[in-house]
Amino acid sequence: MAKRISIINFKGGVGKTTLAFHLGTGLACLNNDRVLLIDVDHQSSLSILCLRSNGWERAVNEGRSVSEIFGTFVGSESKLPGTEVIVESPMRNIDPDYNTMDVLPASLQLDDIEIELTATHQGNAIRSEWNKRTLLCRWIEESGIDDTYDYIIFDCPPATKIVSQNAIAASHGYVIPVIPEAVMERGTPHLKDMIQSGIDARLKALAPMGDQRSMYVPDTELVGLVITQIRTSGSHSGYTNDHTQHLGSLQRRWGTSLLRPYIVHGTGVSEALTRSVPVYNLWKTQNVGGRDLDRKYYELTEELKNRIDAL
């Protein structure tokens, strides 16, 4: 059975897609794990990273996207797709180490489908609310992919709407990428409470009145917080005063839930993403290898793997 994980945060620009990309590729190349990345963000950034623009457009035009799953609830066609919507080993030509990582892309149309999902009901209202929030659970079960992969990773949009709730419903755990800023100090506890007291609690209330879903996870656990884009300086801490202050607050609030190593802000990550490769492939460059970014992502992947495996 696959361990299923959501990468989620209310706020955009905190490195959700970057983390999902490096966790997926890291698990594939470090341990030869079988990984499925599922993009549930209509902006499709993860999909474009893995497939590049031409490959992503081709996949969407061929009907290979997560929209095909969600669209069954709002369209006239009620039959879920199978594994044909998955793009297999899209990065094998970049590096054979990523051969065991597959991708289920998103599409821009997912934003429209999200709106339709909110307004659409099928039959009994309570059962309908449950079914629209467990479409991913149903697809994973009926497609049989849970036995195909070691890890399934959902890259969520910066919101907790229905597509994100679908990911949480199917996930054993979730990871919150954060930047050490004041808004993260306030927002992260709220997000944790929203998942536990909001999404999970509502799903538990709906579950007895909905169709049975074997892939549904009643209690989605916090795997940890990942510090991203922390800014360095010549101060005693090695980080800017502002980030040092908020990092201290996060450490006091979250303790061992705050994972190490911290990922520093720099051009190395953006250079890698511009080339549609992980930092692992640019270890010889000054901006990546010279700043140990590849090693830090390897270590972070190992730490996340250990915590995810323990769920």
**Residue 160: predicted pLDDT:** 85
The pLDDT assigned to 234 comes to: 66
| 306 class by beta-carbon count within 10 Å (0-12 exposed, 13-18 middle, 19+ buried) | exposed
Ramachandran assignment for 291, one of left (phi > 0), alpha (psi -120 to 50 degrees), beta (any other):
alpha
Residue 285, class by beta-carbon neighbours within 10 Å (0-12 exposed, 13-18 middle, 19+ buried)? Answer: middle
Average pLDDT (257-266) is: 93
What is the chain's mean pLDDT, rounded? 94
Q: Which has the closest alpha carbon to 5: 155, 130, 197, 140? A: 155
Q: How far is residue 90's CA from residue 99's CA, in Å, rounded to a whole number?
A: 8
Say what the pLDDT of residue 77 is. 62
The average pLDDT across 56-77 equals 92
Beta-carbon contacts of 237 under 8 Å, excluding residues fewer than 6 positions away, are 244, 247
Q: Which of 39-43, 133-137, 169-173, 261-265 has the lowest mean pLDDT?
A: 261-265
Share of the chain above pLDDT 70, in %: 98
DSSP state of 220: P
Confidence of residue 231 (pLDDT cuts 50, 70, 90): confident
**pLDDT tens readout for residues 160-218:** 889 999 999 999 999 999 998 888 878 899 999 999 999 999 999 999 999 999 999 99
Is pLDDT at 136 greater than 60 in this prediction?
yes
pLDDT score at 238: 82
Q: How far is CA 263 from CA 85, 154, 230, in A?
A: 33, 20, 6
Per-residue b or e along 235-251, where b marks 16 or more CB atoms closer than 10 Å to that residue's CB:
eeeebbeebbbbbeebe
pLDDT at 233: 79
Give the pLDDT of residue 76: 57
